[in-house]
Structure formats: C-alpha cells, structure tokens
Structure 1
Amino acid sequence: MRRLWRALGFPEPGDRQAFGDADVAAFGQVKAAVESDLLTEDTVLRLARAMGVTMARLADWEVATLVDEMEHDVQVGRADSRLSVALTLAQQVAPRFEEVLVQVWRRHLTAAAARMEAIGAKDTELRTTTMTVGFADLSRFTSLSNQLDDAALGSLVERFEERGADVITVGGGRVIKTLGDAVLYVTADPVVATRIALDLVGSVGARDDVPAIRVGLATGSVVSRLGDVFGPPVNLAARLSHVARAHRVLVDEETARAIGPEFATRALPPRPLRGFGNVSPITVTQRRAFRSR
C-alpha cells in the first residue's frame, strides 16, 4: 500500500491516519488483481505512476480553470465568496465529471490499443516504431513573458495550447505533451506531420493574440513509454525548432525525402545542433498547386 501510495504521487503518510474507506476499497481491488495473477506488482506500480502523474496534472488544470470561474461569479454577484462557489462546484459538478472522466479514459484506452495493433504483430515493434515528431514553439517567448503579468501570461499559454491541440488533432496528429510555450506531437505519416506544421504556422501563429510559431520536424525510430516518446527524432525536432525563424518549418533529411512533391524544400547552410554536430536544416513551404486537406 505504501509503495502504491508513493507511486500515485502522494507523500508518505507516516503514523497519521491518512486513508478512508474509499482508499481501502481501491487498494483491495489492486491487491486482488495482483493475487489473481492478472497483473504483476511491478506492472501495477508502473500503471500507478502513470495514473498519478496524469491525475495530478489534470487536477491542477481543473483547479486553475475553476479559479477563473470563481472569480467571475464573485465579481458578477452570483456568490458571496470564492469558498461558497468552490463548495457548489464540488458538490454539483464533480460527480458529473467523474462519469465523463471514466468514459474519456475508456475511449483513449481503446484508441491506444488500436494504435498498437496497427504497428505490427512483433513484440519488438510495440514500443519502438518509426514516426515523424513535430515540435512547435512560440518565438520570443522568454522576452515576451517578462513583459506580461501572470494573468496575461497564463491566458497566452492557454490560447496557444488549446488552438495548437485543435490543429494537430483535426489534422490527424496526436499531442504527446505541452510545455507551456511548446507542444510536441507525432504522426505515422511525414506528409500529415508537415501539413499540420504549416497549418500551425499559418493559422495559430498568424493571429494577433499569439506570437509567431516555428516548427521542427524529424522522422525516425522512437520509443513510446509512459505516455511519452523518446529517441533522436524527438531531440532533433526540438533543436530544429529552436534554430528556425518565426513562421518557418524546418525538417530533417529523412522527412524531406518522404514528403514528396506536395511541398517545396530548400536546404539551408549547415549549423551546429547540440548532440547532432553540423546539420543542414531544410525549410519547407506549401507548393501553390497543392492545398492542405
């Protein structure tokens, strides 16, 4: 129980009473799964770590969002205090979102299993596969963040993450994670990844309320683990985005060879990229004869 509790992201309870009936019931379910040989203890702890990280971030995100709602309700006179709003939300909204949370998890679990099945039947392919990795970030974000107050900076990051995620999802990609001023996504098709990159630059980054966006793309073998992706393409995509100018998409040679005649490519002079030596980035633009679908 203590190992599971730590894996879920909670501090050691020590001698104080820390668990309620619901906690005990949940631990009982886990214990039964391990004792029935359905799951090994190591597997349970790995799943617990993934769940803990995900739920902690979700909770922080929800609380930050609800704080804005609380402030608005107090300002317009719907409530006397933020405490009363918080209690109302906890009593009325949380139970409904519990059902939504479980259903969304079920759908994402099904989608993840389908992606794994599509990769291939070999066990070695289930975690390592060829993907195109996209790394999109806001240019001049550091200097801009020093000029904004906390509220304005938070709104900017939220607009970027929300709009960027919409473009990536609609375009056929999958968001792996957001990093405030950057978003990491993957696709199995370099052409799809490039279309998404150009859409990010041309739509999200072209709006007045969001700074210019630059994107790096790299294709190659990546390892999928704990909901994240690792490997040289991930690092190279990030390096390419950092040396790209505003409103520009830079790709590696592997991606450039795979995207075909739909895009115009031009090699830039070699430059040192940390961990990769001298690399010639390739800039990509949409040919006028083609339109992104």
Structure 2
Amino acid sequence: MTNRSELREELARLLLGEEPTLTGLEATERGGLGVEQGERLWRALGFPNAGEAAAYGERDVEAIEVVVSMMRDDLVDEATVFRLTRALGQTMAKLADWQVATIVDQVENDVAAGRAESRLVESVEIAQRIAPRFEALLLYAWRRHLAAAAARLEALGAVDAELLSTTMTVGFADLSRFTAMSNALDQAALGALVEDFENRATDVIASHGGRVIKALGDAVLFVNTDPAAAVRTALEVVQHIGSRENLPDVRVALATGSVVSRLGDVFGPPVNLAARLSHVARSNRVLIDDVTAAGLGDGEFEMRALPARPLRGFGNVSPITVSRRRGFRPRVSARPSLPT
C-alpha cells in the first residue's frame, strides 16, 4: 500500500515543480519585496497566509522578481501591477477548481474499475500525464484571447473615453423552473444539467461572434457588438436548449446601449435591462428592447411590441418579442457544428 503522505507530497511536487522550503516572508524578501508589499501580493493572488510554514520555493521567488522588475523598469505603475495580479489570481483559482471538478468523474471511474489504487494515486498519475501539456495549452489560449481583446480595444477607436465604454448588445439567457428542478435532482444530475446548459449556450454565443461574460449556474450573460448577431444567438439558444427534454425551458432577453468593461465584467443600464426583461419573458421566447429592435433592419426578423409593464429601475417598458421571419433564408457561413 502506497503511503498517502508520500503521495500527497509527490502530487504537490509534480504540480509545483519543486519542494516548498521557504516561508512567505522569506520568499518575498528574497524576491525583493518588503513585508507589506509581499502580503499585498499574496492577497492579490488569493493565497492564504501560510505563517511560518514552508509553503513556497524558488519558483515563487522568481515570480516575485518578475513583479519587482515590472515596477522597477516602469513598465506599469504599482497599482496596475497589483490589479493585473489580482485578475490573474482570481482567474487561475476559478480555472483550477474547474479543472479538478472536471477530472473527478474520470478519477472515480478509474478507481471503481480497479484501474487505480486510490483517488490519490490516480491524481498523481493524471498530473504526470497532462500537467506539462495543459500548461502549454493554457499559454496558447491566453495569447489567443489576449490578441482578440486587444483587437476589440483597437476597434473602439482612438477616443480615450471610448476605450472602456462602448455600445454593445447585452444578452441574458435564463433557465425557467430551475429552482424547482434543482430541488428534485441529486448533486451529480444537477451538476450535469448546469454543465450541459452552459456548454450549449457558450457554443452558440461563440459561433455568432459573441463573448460569454459570466455563467451563473442557471443563467449566462453575454455580449455582441452586432444587434442582429445577438438576436440570432438568442433564437439559437432557445432552439438548442428549450427544445431538449433533459433541460428546462429557457428565456432570453437583449438590450443595447453603452456598457463599461471592468475586471472582465460589463456594467451599465443594458445589463440591468436585459436581466429585467428575461424575468418577464415567456419560456422559450426572446425579448428585446427598442434600441436593439432599431438596429435589426428589415427582412430577417418579425417583431411585435407587447403591452408596457413596470420594470424596476426603468419605469414602464414595452418589451418587443422577436422571431425569425418565416421563409427567410439566412446566409450560409462557416461556423463550427453545435451539439445535438
């Protein structure tokens, strides 16, 4: 029987690439940061205070030296360094949790089938097999998304005020009856339902040139710079989710206007209006506001204004229901196939 303590140490060594030999204070001082800045860095990255325990190593020192060099060489100011660090810490923490949750099923199946001695043994073997490859994939994906984000920023124009504030169509896709359904499901089934919903929604959103801002379990918030593409997205989300027996019905709402991008999120009246409209939409229907409707042009969509109703923070609003015009044939474009 393999010693569990040794396996834990082996797993940590494989993932960290070294044995931890330094305390947090020793690592920050060797990297060139003072005590206060060092504590601020660990908090920004989301790491707990390990106290006097040896929880860090030479790679931690190298990471701190990178932070120090950016501030020393005046590449960015100190406030920007720590803002970027906080974004990195929060993103990596979520990614790590997502990765671990994703491989749980494989670990459980391998243990149950006798292909692994224990969960810990299987975790060590998975770390040995995929960690180096996934690290390369992580860097590739980050560079691709960074290039796309830079291109979006450049497309906004040269006016400084436009760089973080721009006009977008915001979409909010919300599952109906989710609370009642979740109460009737066990944890495994609930997790599978949420993952299925998010996967299908994000595939549709990406295929129409949109971006997922965040997933909230029973809802997905997305944006698109083109109102017509956003409406196509919404209608296709209904088609791919609302028609499936294993998923609840879905309600989608869109609103267009100026939004501010901060911390990987978007803020502004269109975000709030899309959320409010989704709450009054009928199941498997798409509602839009009048600004979105004005940007659609003629021919592709049928629209019908509904009676005005009070929406918190917006007064009386007349939602507009939208559907694909009968007989309309969309242009064929090269898009990735969506799940069936």
TM-score w.r.t. the length of structure 1 is 0.97
The equivalent of 1:140 in structure 2 is: 177
**Structural RMSD (CA):** 1.1
In the alignment, is the contact (CA less than 8 A) between 2:169 and 2:254 conserved in 1?
yes
Between structure 1 and structure 2, the one with the greater Rg is: 2
Answering whether residue 236 of structure 2 is matched by residue 199 of structure 1, we say: yes
Deviates more, 1:73-82 or 1:241-250: 73-82
The equivalent of 1:123 in structure 2 is: 160
Quote the Cα distance in structure 2 between the aligned partners of 1:40 and 1:90.
37
**Matching residue within 111, 116, 121 for 1:74:** 111
**Matching residue within 88, 95, 99 for 2:125:** 88
The equivalent of 1:21 in structure 2 is: 58
**CA displacement at 1:146 relative to structure 2:** 0.6
Aligned residues: 293
**CA displacement at 1:96 relative to structure 2:** 1.0
The equivalent of 1:264 in structure 2 is: 302
Q: Secondary structure at the match of 2:105?
A: helix
Write the deviation string for residues 157-178 of structure 1: whole angstroms up to 9, x where unpaired.
0000011100110111111111
**Counterpart amino acid of 1:137?**
D
Answering whether residue 325 of structure 2 is matched by residue 287 of structure 1, we say: yes
In the alignment, is the contact (CA less than 8 A) between 2:208 and 2:229 conserved in 1?
yes
The equivalent of 1:63 in structure 2 is: 100
**CA displacement at 1:282 relative to structure 2:** 0.8
Write the deviation string for residues 135-155 of structure 1: whole angstroms up to 9, x where unpaired.
001111011111101000000
Quote the Cα distance in structure 1 between the aligned partners of 2:138 and 2:172.
28
**CA displacement at 1:291 relative to structure 2:** 3.5
**Matching residue within 298, 315, 319 for 1:277:** 315
Quote the Cα distance in structure 1 between the aligned partners of 2:82 and 2:52.
23
**Counterpart amino acid of 2:93?**
A
**Matching residue within 288, 294, 299 for 1:251:** 288
Quote the Cα distance in structure 1 between the aligned partners of 2:163 and 2:171.
21
In the alignment, is the contact (CA less than 8 A) between 1:195 and 1:292 conserved in 2?
no
Quote the Cα distance in structure 2 between the aligned partners of 1:222 and 1:251.
17
Quote the Cα distance in structure 2 between the aligned partners of 1:41 and 1:13.
24
Quote the Cα distance in structure 2 between the aligned partners of 1:38 and 1:151.
47
Answering whether residue 191 of structure 2 is matched by residue 150 of structure 1, we say: no
**Matching residue within 190, 214, 219 for 1:182:** 219
**Counterpart amino acid of 1:11?**
P
The equivalent of 1:41 in structure 2 is: 78
Seen in structure 2, the aligned counterparts of structure 1 residues 46 and 274 have a Cα distance that, compared at 3 Å, is same
Q: Secondary structure at the match of 1:289?
A: coil
Quote the Cα distance in structure 1 between the aligned partners of 2:242 and 2:156.
33
**Matching residue within 245, 255, 278 for 1:208:** 245
Quote the Cα distance in structure 1 between the aligned partners of 2:330 and 2:113.
44
Quote the Cα distance in structure 2 between the aligned partners of 1:15 and 1:77.
40
**CA displacement at 1:204 relative to structure 2:** 2.2
**CA displacement at 1:225 relative to structure 2:** 1.1
**CA displacement at 1:95 relative to structure 2:** 1.3
Write the deviation string for residues 197-251 of structure 1: whole angstroms up to 9, x where unpaired.
0000012221112111110100000001111110000011011111111110001
For structure 2, the 5+ residue unaligned runs are 1-37, 332-340
For structure 1, the 5+ residue unaligned runs are none
Write the deviation string for residues 1-43 of structure 1: whole angstroms up to 9, x where unpaired.
2111101112233343332111111000110111000111100
**Counterpart amino acid of 1:272?**
P
**Counterpart amino acid of 1:268?**
L
The equivalent of 2:275 in structure 1 is: 238
The equivalent of 2:204 in structure 1 is: 167
Write the deviation string for residues 93-115 of structure 1: whole angstroms up to 9, x where unpaired.
11110111011101111110011
Quote the Cα distance in structure 2 between the aligned partners of 1:273 and 1:54.
33
TM-score w.r.t. the length of structure 2 is 0.84
Deviates more, 1:165-174 or 1:191-200: 165-174
Quote the Cα distance in structure 2 between the aligned partners of 1:292 and 1:13.
58
**CA displacement at 1:284 relative to structure 2:** 0.5
The equivalent of 1:98 in structure 2 is: 135
Quote the Cα distance in structure 1 between the aligned partners of 2:311 and 2:53.
52
In the alignment, is the contact (CA less than 8 A) between 1:218 and 1:233 conserved in 2?
yes
**Counterpart amino acid of 1:278?**
N
